[in-house]
A and B are shown apart, each in its own frame.
Chain A
């Protein structure tokens, strides 16, 4: 099924006739007016200069200057000054009609809606220069109060006015665009008309930057980040201090997952510290990183400016909810209802934020409330669907998402999720006692052989540790396409994570979704199941950083070499103070300052858990989970359980890292990036290494370069030294890996084995190392060791038939029949060309295990495909004989067949 996403891009044919016009009346502020220095300074964002020049003009009785100085003061958040200026001019010049609109805008921004309405009524007088703009604002006030019926009627009149007008000013066209945009929620085609009207507004007056910013906002609301960015950039080129454009860029950055979002929003607030939309945006970012106190402060600042801002009130409600302050939450909801009894965005905001903080059931409840209040809340429908999907309710999710998409066909998130559901239809399901697995049909049978038992083991192990058993079955979705996994998790492509837990549902990349050996899928599965436990134990209140650290900690406990391990990059970041302090570690996950910081934060959080266990015991981890369940913040939980505050813990953590990694830290003073090393010759690198025998980077790089040049003796000396300096390093380019290859080349089997064993004991995700280890052991007939190495490799990458074949052979030789059977089944699941042979081998494994029924079934399949298969024929007869000897009887047969 294909869905056509609507894209809001170029203007197409509009339903309304566009008559671009220039301003008729000499309205203050239009391009036809003689430009002056004050107006130009305002246009360019030199606000202080503009205020000074325009203020002087206003003092001289220039009406246009008075209007513009009001705008300039508003732009920088000096609302009281703006109001005072405008009112005093009006007092002196009662016929200055052009001042009522900016006065209304100031009052509206301060939340004095009744006063604003009065000003707008004055501005809306017939044939006034701002009558259309004021009429729009009056309609928006109705909308703000929840009178959608009234507002809708007013918005629709704009279309009539537009179609009937001979010419309209840029401001009028902007008003039309905004009105039509409001109507778009009932008819999405009107968004394109709105876009066209904005275009006309800008053509009528290229200095109308507000129109451009609104146009950018429309692009962004309709998921077109590229056009939005370009539009805001065009505004900032003219006025680099435009608060609206800066905020727009911040929102576009957030849409793209860029870390620029917060700095850009802050820049907007530097220009206008009272800019409520920017305060609300930053507060939202604070909430996403679970910095509730910071969010509260910002929201209160916003409400001090505008106590009736519904967006700010919605965030206040969300903050109170996430802080666990139920009565304050209810009060805020009541306050919102006092302003607008039908405000669905309150509930979509609550749904969005509770979803981002992993409280999916709550998110679903809130989304349902949004839709109940307003059936055209397409965002609400979408959030219902997404959260239903997160909770495993796929059929219901589809219905909700179809409704959302029908109402807003621009919503790329909803479209992607619906496409994902179409793909999920082709997935195959397999179950164990407590898990239900869904995977692509081509690999479901294979993955089930390994994932099922591993998941059951994880459940038992974690249940014993935490004395908690999540409800079952738990659903595990394994995606063979990373793009599908990304959509599953946030609805937009490009996520870098490998797995996610929604509680009762876990989703992860299949090992086939990435390059072979790129990640350890077994460890990821264990990690995500651990999250399910943590979320359940804490009713989803566990902070992100702690559950991630604890899940990595659990990986390390599951098997040697699982879980993240220390890298030179991590220690370099530590030394350069690029790690996030433990007290703010959530930020490393939600708003990383640089791309690697996310990965570093995982490992850092796990080290925190190591430290806690080392100093307070395993019970402290459980106690912290309990504290979080009770709604305590990290600071409170640390105080209660560890007897310390986060800042003191930061100092202790730093000391712990220095102590634990003292040797490599001492050797990492001159860590260089790959780019810095790239163009150096082997001679240069060797010289550098000889000059710096205690620097890990110098030794490693020289060793690697010598290895590549096949100068193995030279390479060995550098690599041995590198390993001495940093024995814990086990990355794909670690000294041990190169040394193993050198020793193997030299025939020094024991030393090669030693290196590979050391490497895989720290990094069980090193796929080639496992295969090399298996081959070495195999060549020395150490069958059990070879089999164990091959088995470990399968939890990294299970899609290579020869690995399964060899493991099956070893297992059969060792009499490990369950393993032999599993491996032969794996071969079959991988659809080998020679299916008859694969079935025959499976039959042999069953036969060896004494499972005669299964052996018979498998050998029949082999012979069905290849009747002349003599070895299989012999096996069939042997099975019959064995069954007879065991008293099981042979299958019924007629010895004398009718000749055909």
Chain B
């Protein structure tokens, strides 16, 4: 039996998962782990940027808070770490949440920030304080998830319409991300119009998908 494309894709995802590793070091003076552990397919997170930041850190508390709180709920709470609302938490999202909450806590307590968490995932052994998904440090971390993976129901369905709707949904989401990247080069009213068109279609597709999936 020839494996379905969905099965092959799952297998490859599993393999990719095995080849990717995340090292999360939450202790004080942990910055030195980045050059030591960095490598291809490795995500290294440390609570400090060097071994000289020796004070007890708060980063770990917020890192765990992000994970424990789940994803997709109120802004400004621990549950707000899932910033792209895809129902799962990437390493990048959890890192970003913890980093920003640490800064907020120090600011409110009127204390100097004595810990600077870092992330390295491009293997160059140099951590970044504010990694982003679009390139450099952060790109890999944005694709590795620490919580349950979004259900790939498409792999299990025999309904061609459901499969089509999933494919369409994924395509539309990619289009939105692509459009977002061109924002600076478009007239604002044109951008807004095109964005709304895509999002409306995405919403309608998602609504149709859910209704379809409810059908016996």
Identify the A interface with B (CB < 8 A): 512, 514-516, 799-802, 804-805, 827, 830-838, 841, 856, 860, 863-874, 876-877, 880, 891-895, 897, 900
Contacts and interface: CB of A to CB of B under 8 A. Distances in A.
A805 B192 contact: no
A837 B84 CA distance: 9
A871 B203 CA distance: 9
A59 B75 CA distance: 94
Nearest to B78: A833
Interface stretch (B118-126, B154-162, B167-175): B167-175
A687 to B, nearest CB: 38
Nearest to A803: B76
A866 B193 contact: no
Interface string B179-216: 01000000000001101111111111011000000000
Nearest to A863: B199
B77 interface: yes
Contacts of B171: 900
B81 interface: yes
Nearest to B81: A833
14 contacts: A801-B75, A833-B76, A835-B83, A836-B85, A837-B72, A837-B85, A838-B75, A864-B195, A865-B84, A873-B199, A876-B200, A877-B200, A880-B200, A900-B171
Given A802-B77, A894-B197, A873 B202 contact: yes
B197 A897 contact: yes
Interface string B19-56: 00000000000000000000000000000000000000
A827 B175 contact: no
A70 B96 CA distance: 79
A838 B76 contact: yes
Given A868-B85, A891-B200, A897-B197, 17 more contacts: A515-B110, A801-B77, A832-B80, A834-B79, A835-B83, A837-B72, A860-B195, A860-B199, A863-B202, A864-B176, A867-B177, A870-B85, A877-B204, A891-B193, A891-B196, A893-B197, A897-B201
Contacts of B107: 512
A837 B193 contact: no
B84 A832 contact: no
Nearest to A442: B107
Given A864-B176, A865-B84, A832 B75 contact: yes
Contact of B80 (A833, A867, A872, A892): A833
A29 to B, nearest CB: 56
B207 A877 contact: yes
A805 B77 CA distance: 9
B115 interface: no
Contacts of A880: 200
Question: What are the 3 closest A-B residue pairs judged by CB atoms, nearest first?
Answer: A834-B80, A801-B76, A869-B85
Contacts of B77: 801-802, 805, 834
Interface of B: 72-77, 79-87, 96-97, 100-101, 107-108, 110, 171-173, 175-177, 180, 192-193, 195-204, 206-207
Contact of A874 (B87, B101, B177, B203): B203
Nearest to A799: B108
A833 B83 contact: yes
Report which residue of A866, A867, A868, A877 has the largest number of chain B beta carbons within 10 angstroms of its beta carbon. Answer: A867
Given A873-B207, A892-B193, A893-B200, A867 B173 contact: yes
Nearest to B172: A867
A867 B176 contact: yes
A867 B199 contact: yes
A794 to B, nearest CB: 15
A841 B76 CA distance: 12
Report which residue of A515, A873, A877 has the largest number of chain B beta carbons within 10 angstroms of its beta carbon. Answer: A873
Given A833-B100, A837-B75, A841-B75, A866 B200 contact: no
Contacts of A800: 108
A876 B206 CA distance: 12
Contacts of B206: 870, 873
Contacts of A866: 83-86
B110 A837 contact: no
A833 B203 CA distance: 24
B97 A833 contact: yes
A897 B202 CA distance: 11
Contacts of B207: 873-874, 877
B88 to A, nearest CB: 10
B212 to A, nearest CB: 15
B82 A834 contact: yes
A805 B76 contact: yes
Nearest to A802: B76
Contacts of B72: 837
B84 A836 contact: yes
B201 A827 contact: no
A360 B176 CA distance: 56
Contacts of A838: 75-76
A283 B110 CA distance: 42
A897 B81 CA distance: 33
A895 B110 CA distance: 53
A801 B192 CA distance: 29
A834 B196 contact: no
Contacts of A872: 85
A106 B95 CA distance: 78
Nearest to B98: A833
A838 B73 CA distance: 10
Given A860-B196, A877-B204, A877-B207, A805 B85 contact: no
Report which residue of A805, A856, A869, A870 has the largest number of chain B beta carbons within 10 angstroms of its beta carbon. Answer: A869
A841 B72 CA distance: 12
Contacts of A836: 75, 83-85
Contacts of A877: 200, 203-204, 207
A802 B79 CA distance: 12
Contacts of A833: 75-76, 80-81, 83, 96-97, 100-101
A868 B209 CA distance: 13
A515 B80 CA distance: 26
A864 B108 contact: no
Contacts of A864: 176, 180, 195, 199
Contacts of B192: 860
A877 B206 CA distance: 11
A900 to B, nearest CB: 6
Given A870-B85, A877-B207, A837 B80 contact: yes
Given A841-B75, A860-B192, A834 B83 contact: yes
B120 to A, nearest CB: 21
A440 B172 CA distance: 39
Given A833-B76, A834-B82, A876 B197 contact: no
A894 B200 CA distance: 10
A829 to B, nearest CB: 11
B109 to A, nearest CB: 8
A539 to B, nearest CB: 40
Contacts of B85: 836-837, 866, 868-872
Contacts of B87: 868
Report which residue of A800, A830, A832, A891 has the largest number of chain B beta carbons within 10 angstroms of its beta carbon. Answer: A832
Contact of B74 (A516, A805, A856, A870): A805
B175 A865 contact: no
A834 B195 contact: no
Nearest to A824: B75
A832 B103 CA distance: 12
Contact of A865 (B74, B83, B101, B202): B83
Contacts of A894: 197
A321 to B, nearest CB: 43
Nearest to A892: B193
B196 A893 contact: yes
Nearest to A856: B196
A213 B96 CA distance: 60
A894 B75 CA distance: 33
A61 B47 CA distance: 86
A809 to B, nearest CB: 9
A837 B173 contact: no
Contacts of B175: 900
